[in-house]
């Protein structure tokens, strides 16, 4: 039996509870796995002077596979997102978020099976920003005016949206390669190229060029404007297969896709790079539920299913997925969110660890 060493970043908020549940379920499959547990986020700031210490990155690089809980980002001020920094530092350029129906989730639809491929390193998430009133903002405003590019109000804060040929090529290729490897039929590039000529316009042009490279693959290609995509996802979720999007649209449409399948509690994800992969749920740290043993660990556990497949533990992955499907379909030992979606009340729901116990019994 192959032995695996996986970096585990518990995170904060509900992170430690849901990663404990995930860890228990994965260990109960009987695979040989060792966790290299490292901490990141606000809690380690005092000790290391940074929310993302170098030894955390080193652990991910060394083990090549990591799984994490959510990490809180202070709003507006304070340090930038650790989650975004991790993706950038490890060049985890592809964010993969499968969205599939689970019977008993209480979702409005029962036939969803789509995959979001979100570019993870650039766009408005590049973190290139100029504070209102700063020297940088003043210079940029002057430059835009001098270039005849447009007038920006002097009291503006500015965030840049870089989209490159390099990153667009690799994310669209990733989407096609994923589609081929997973028996998918269609890739849709999502953009706002009609308005954003030089960023989304480039994304669309390069996506079309890459689609040409895959003309003989049997995978259909189409493109769609992001606002129309949101509406059609709600009206006709069954139309969609693999969607490839720049960073910000990918973030927003991922939450929409999570809503289609019954909420953030069951939406899993992976950040894939050339050398390293970091698995994590779509949701954040849900601070209001911290320490209450109520959060739904399914999204974290389904992220572990993606991880298990990635490390070739396909049998364990299938068993965990089956256990999730069985327990949620039964509707007895489920967390508050699933109970409420089904019955309108949280009455009779079980806690995070009791739900994990029910999964372990089914493995």
Q: Is 227 a catalytic residue?
A: yes
Shortest spacing between CB 264 and ligand NAD, in angstroms:
4
CB of 61 to ligand NAD, least distance (A): 19
The per-residue DSSP string of 125-169 comes to: GG--EE-TT-HHHHHHHHHHHHTTS----TT--EE-----HHHHH
Asked if 125 is an active-site residue, the reply is: yes
CA-nearest of 37, 136, 124 to 81 is 124
What's the CA gap between 266 and 67, in Å, rounded?
Answer: 16
284 part of the interface to ligand NAD, by CB under 6 A: yes
Q: In the window 71-90, what residues touch ligand NAD (CB under 6 A)?
A: 71-73, 83
Name which of residues 15 to 44 contact ligand NAD (CB under 6 A): 18
User: Taking the complex as a whole, how short is the minimal distance between the CB of residue 347 and ligand NAD, in angstroms?
Assistant: 16
- Contacts with ligand NAD in 129-158 (CB under 6 A)? none
Q: Are the CB atoms for 317 and 305 separated by under 8 Å?
A: yes
- What is the smallest separation between the CB atom of 73 and ligand NAD, expressed in angstroms? 3
Specify the stretch interacting with ligand NAD by CB under 6 A; choose among 104-112, 195-203, 283-291, 302-310.
283-291
CB of 273 to ligand NAD, least distance (A): 16
- Min dist. Cβ of residue 196 to ligand NAD (A): 24
Terminal Cα-to-Cα distance of the chain (whole angstroms): 18
Nearer to ligand NAD, 14 or 244 (CB): 14
Residue count of the chain, please give it. 363
Helices (H) and strands (E) in the chain, counts: 13, 12
Binding mask 294-333 for ligand NAD (x = CB under 6 A): -xx--x----------------------------------
Query: Of 283, 275, 286, which Cα lies nearest the Cα of 259?
Result: 283
200 binds ligand NAD (CB under 6 A): no
Integer Cα distance of 219 and 187 in angstroms:
7
Q: How many CA atoms lie within 13 A of 49 on its CB side?
A: 1
Size of site (CB under 6 A) for ligand NAD: 21
User: 3-class SS at 79?
Assistant: coil
* Residue of 114, 158, 124, 120 whose CA lies nearest to 139: 158
Beta bridge partners of 31: none
Minimal CB distance to ligand NAD: which residue?
Answer: 284
User: By the 8 A CB rule, do 92 and 86 touch?
Assistant: yes
DSSP-based three-state secondary structure for 34: strand
Task: Please enumerate in sequence order all residues whose Cβ is within 8 A of that of 200, keeping only pairs 6 or more positions apart, or say none.
Answer: 163, 191, 192, 193, 246
Name the active-site residue from 12, 93, 178, 192.
192
Site for ligand NAD in 327-346 (CB under 6 A): 337
If one asks whether residue 280 binds ligand NAD (CB under 6 A), the answer comes out as yes
Q: Mark 225-264 with x for binding to ligand NAD (rule: CB under 6 A) and - for no binding.
A: ---------------------------------------x
Q: Among all residues, which ones are annotated catalytic?
A: 125, 192, 227, 251
Residues in contact with ligand NAD by the rule CB under 6 A:
14, 18, 70-73, 83, 264-265, 280, 283-289, 295-296, 299, 337
């Amino acid at each position: 039996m192959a032995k695996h060493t996986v970096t585990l970043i518990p995170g904060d908020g509900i992170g430690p509870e849901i990663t404990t549940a995930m860890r228990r379920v994965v260990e109960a499959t009987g695979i040989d796995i060792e966790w290299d547990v490292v901490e990141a986020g606000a809690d380690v700031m005092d000790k290391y002077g940074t929310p993302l210490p170098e030894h955390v990155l080193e652990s991910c690089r060394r083990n090549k596979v990591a799984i994490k809980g959510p990490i809180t980002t202070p709003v507006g001020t304070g340090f930038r997102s650790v989650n975004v920094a991790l993706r950038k530092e490890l060049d985890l350029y592809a964010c993969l978020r499968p969205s599939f129906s689970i019977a008993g989730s209480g979702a409005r639809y029962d036939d969803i099976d789509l995959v979001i491929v979100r570019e993870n390193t650039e766009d408005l998430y590049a973190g290139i920003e100029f504070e209102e009133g700063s020297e940088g903002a003043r210079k940029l405003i002057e430059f835009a005016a001098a270039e005849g590019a447009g007038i920006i109000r002097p009291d503006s804060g500015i965030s840049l949206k870089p989209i490159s040929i390099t990153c667009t090529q690799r994310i669209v290729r990733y989407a096609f390669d994923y589609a081929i490897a997973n028996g998918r039929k269609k890739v849709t590039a999502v953009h706002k190229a009609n308005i954003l000529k030089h960023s989304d316009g480039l994304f669309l042009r390069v996506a079309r060029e890459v689609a040409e490279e895959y003309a003989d693959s049997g995978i259909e290609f189409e493109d769609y404007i992001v606002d129309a995509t949101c509406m059609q996802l709600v009206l006709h979720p069954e139309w969609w297969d693999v969607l490839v999007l720049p960073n910000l649209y990918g973030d927003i449409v991922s939450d929409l896709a999570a809503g289609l399948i019954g909420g953030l509690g069951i939406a899993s994800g992976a950040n894939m790079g050339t050398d390293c992969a970091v698995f994590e749920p779509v949701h954040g740290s849900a601070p209001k539920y911290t320490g209450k043993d109520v959060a739904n660990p399914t999204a974290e556990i389904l992220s572990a299913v993606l991880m298990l497949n990635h490390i070739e533990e396909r049998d364990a992955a299938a068993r965990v997925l089956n256990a999730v499907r069985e327990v949620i379909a039964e509707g007895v030992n489920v967390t508050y969110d699933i109970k409420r979606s089904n019955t309108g009340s949280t009455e009779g729901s079980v806690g995070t660890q009791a739900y994990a116990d029910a999964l372990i019994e089914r493995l």
